[in-house]
Amino acid sequence: MEKAIDKTGVKIGMWIFLYSEVLLFGGLFVLYAVYFHAFPEDFALGGKELNRIFGTANTLVLLISSFTVAASITAIQQRRKGLAIGLLVFSLLCGLAFLINKYFEWGAKFHHDLYPNSDLLLDSDPGFNIFFGLYYTITGLHGLHVIIGMVLLAISLVLVARNKISAERYAMLENSGLYWHLVDLIWIFVFPLFYLVL
């Protein structure tokens, strides 16, 4: 008893799920707002420690990968399987580049004795400690979402290669793409909050 797939319904489900993810980060943004209001000077000092070049590079990497994921969906719709696979591989490489970049960025901070519960943070002003606490919590949770997104894209890639995703049936790819855009979108808010406005 195979029924026609209700694509709208699948999308409603996915959008509600994405909404819940936004709310998950919403809780952290509330913390950011409250503490920014409490310690504006310390936040400004903390913001100066962050490297804008790293941040901008990561923003570009994510934006480009979002484009290539969207393009791969169009490619599937146009039955250009090879192109779709190429675009997905490129997106995955972008995700990897983001994580490597993040690794070096965090590594540099650790090197400067800036990590949760470090002696430097314990001795500095409370607001400075909170800033870095939020920095690690938010970018860490975002990094985790990058990894989840990459897993979803990798699954889609395998399914495309095995012809399980086709021009007629591409809900999995589309939803993985939506998730990837969400990861991108959250970063678009994280980036200015930590790197630009301070």
Partner 1 sequence: MEQVKSFYETPSPAGLTGIKAWLLTHDHKRLALMYLWAVFFWLVLAVFLGMALRLELMFIGETIMPPEIYNSFFTLHGVIMIFLFVIPAIPAIFGNFFLPIQIGADDVFFPRLNLFSWYLYMFGGLLAVISLFTGDGFADTGWTFYVPFSVTTETNVSLTVTAAFILGMSSMLTGLNFVTTVHRMRVKGMGWLQIPLFTWSIYATAWVQILATPVVSITLVLVVLERFLNIGLFDPAKGGDPLLYQHLFWMYSHPAVYIMILPGMGIISEIIPVFSRKAIFGYKGIVVSSMAIAIAGSLVWAHHMYTSGMSDVSVFVFSLLTYLVAIPTAVKVFSWVSTMYKGSILMTPPLFMSLIFIYLFTVGGLTGLVLGAAGTDIHVHDTTFVVAHFHFTMFGGTGFAFFAGLHYWWPKMFGIMYDFKKAYIAAVLATVGFIFHYIPMFILGMQGMPRRYYDYLPHFETGNFLAGFGGILMVIGIMLMFINLWASFRVREPASADPWGGTTLEWSVPSPPPLHNFVEEPKILEYPYDFSGVLARAAKNKG
Give least dist CB 172 to partner 1, A. 12
Q: Which of 40, 107, 126, 192 binds partner 1 (CB under 8 A)?
A: 126
Examine residue 17 and tell whether it contacts partner 1 (CB under 8 A).
yes
Examine residue 32 and tell whether it contacts partner 1 (CB under 8 A).
no
81 Cβ neighbours under 8 A, 6+ residues apart: 75, 160, 163
Question: Could you identify the residue written with the tokens 């995955």?
Answer: 92
What whole-number distance in Å separates Cα of residue 95 and Cα of residue 63?
A: 10
Examine residue 38 and tell whether it contacts partner 1 (CB under 8 A).
yes
- Residue count at the site for partner 1 (CB under 8 A)? 38
Span from 48-56, 117-125, 166-174, 183-191 in contact with partner 1 (CB under 8 A): 117-125
- The DSSP 8-state label assigned to residue 2 in this structure reads P
Give least dist CB 55 to partner 1, A. 21
Residue 127 burial (CB count, 10 A): 18
Site for partner 1 in 147-186 (CB under 8 A): none
Residue 118 burial (CB count, 10 A): 16
Give least dist CB 25 to partner 1, A. 8
Range list of H helices, 78-191? 81-111, 119-123, 126-161, 171-191
Examine residue 116 and tell whether it contacts partner 1 (CB under 8 A).
yes
Span from 47-55, 92-100, 126-134, 180-188 in contact with partner 1 (CB under 8 A): 126-134
Question: Could you identify the residue written with the tokens 């941040």?
Answer: 55
Binding site for partner 1 (CB under 8 A): 1, 6, 8-9, 12-13, 16-17, 19-21, 23-28, 30-31, 34-35, 38-39, 42, 116-117, 122, 125-130, 133-134, 136-137, 141
